[in-house]
Amino acid sequence: MEWLTMARWSPYAVGAGIGLLSCLAFLLSDKPLGCSTAFARTSGMLERIFRGKRTLEKAYYQKFTPSVDWEWMLVAGLIAGAYLSSAISGDFQVLWVPDVWRAGAGDGKLLRWIVALAGGILIGFGSRWAGGCTSGHGISGTLQLALSSWIAAVCFFFFFIATAMLLFRFILQV
C-alpha cells in the first residue's frame, strides 16, 4: 500500500486504471466517462437560484437538465480524490501562485487569476461546443473508436502544446 503515499504515480498505471474505470462505467451504467456536462448542469442549478423555473425553459437545459447526476458525482469524486491523494502523500498545499508562474511572471496574483479564469472559460466553452471534454472525447470516445473523438483528441493535443508554448514564451518568459 506504499504506492498510495507517493506524490506522483506512474502514468502507465494511471492510464490502465482509467481504462479499467471506463470499462466499468460502460459495464455498470452504460455511460461513458465525461465531466463537462456536470459543469453545464451546475451552471443551470446556479441559474435556477436566481431565475427559478424559467431556467428550464431554455432549450439547452431541456437537453441537459440542471440536476445532480452520476457525472456530477464523478466530478465531486475527482475533487475529493485529488484532495485525499495529496493529503495522504503529504503533498497538499494551498498555492495561489505556482513556482513556475512566479519565476516567469512574478508574484502578482491578478495576472495569474485573469489567465486562469480566461483559460477556464475557454475550456468550458470549447468542451460544450465540441460536445465533450478531454475525458469524454479523449478517453471514452476514443475507446469507442468514434472518429469525432479521435479528431477532437488530436486537436486537444495540438492546441494544448500551442497554448503552452504561447504561455511560456509570452507570459512566463521561461
| pLDDT value at residue 164 | 85
pLDDT-derived band at 99 (thresholds 50, 70, 90) equals: confident
pTM for the predicted model, two decimal places: 0.77
- pLDDT at residue 45 tops 90: yes
Return all residues near 22 (Cβ < 8 A) that are at least 6 apart. Answer: 32, 33, 139, 140, 143
Cβ contact 53:59 at 8 Å: no
Residue pair 17/139 in contact (Cβ under 8 Å)? The answer is: no
Q: What is the mean pLDDT of residues 96-102?
A: 85
CB 65 within 8 A of CB 44: yes
Q: Across the chain, what does the average pLDDT equal?
A: 87
Give dist(CA 168, CA 160) in Å, integer.
12
Residue 174 pLDDT > 60, yes or no?
no
Q: What is the mean pLDDT of residues 16-21?
A: 90
Residue 49 has pLDDT above 90, yes or no: yes
Exposure b/e, 77-110, CB count within 10 A at least 16 = b:
eeeeeeeebeeeeeeeeeeeeeeebeeebeeeee
Type and span of the H or E element at 54: none
Q: Which three cell numbers stand for residue 71?
A: 457525472
